[in-house]
Amino acid sequence: QVQLVESGGGLVQAGGSLRLSCAASGRTFSRNAMGWFRQGPGKEREFVAAINWSGGSMYYADSVKGRFTISRDNAKNRMYLQMNSLKPEDTAVYYCAAESGRYYYTGLDYNYDYWGQGTQVTVSS
């Protein structure tokens, strides 16, 4: 059974940092693009960051550019999201996702085939 499991969420003050992890099991995603999405309270799910299979290319939403860094470790079948200078508007459930090998990287949620259950990030002002 293929699973993506996020961890590392929590409560942090504005200006603080968190590092999210996404652990994949059941298959390897070393040849697949992966990404992070988030859904804030009362909001639709939105794209945060994406990374190609090798980790050599990254793509960010304007709202997080310069503050968040996406990375991956294919040997460990893991992906990460380092979040710095967090703002209250970053409060959301964060989801990791993987696609099936069709895209170099993608910011469109419907292009992803596998999803984690989400981890809550709350940023207090």
For residue 12, the tally of other CB atoms under 10 A from its CB is 17
pLDDT for position 50: 98
The owner of tokens 């999210």 is 20
Q: Rounded to whole angstroms, how far apart are CA atoms 100 and 90?
A: 28
pLDDT digits (tens, 9 = 90+) for 29-65: 999 999 999 999 999 999 999 999 999 999 999 999 9
pLDDT digits (tens, 9 = 90+) for 3-29: 999 999 999 999 999 999 999 999 999
Q: Rounded to whole angstroms, how far apart are CA atoms 20 and 121?
A: 9
Among 25, 20, 29, which residue's Cα sits nearest to residue 3? 25
pLDDT for position 16: 98
18-25 and 78-83 beta bridge pairing: antiparallel
Question: ∠ CA(118), CA(71), CA(56), 5° rounding?
Answer: 135
The owner of tokens 């259950």 is 117
pLDDT digits (tens, 9 = 90+) for 60-119: 999 999 999 999 999 999 999 999 999 999 999 999 999 998 888 899 999 999 999 999
What percent of the residues of the chain are helix, what percent strand, and what percent coil, each to the nearest 5?
5, 45, 50
- With a cut of 90, say whether residue 1 has pLDDT above it: no
In 3-state terms, what secondary structure has residue 111? helix
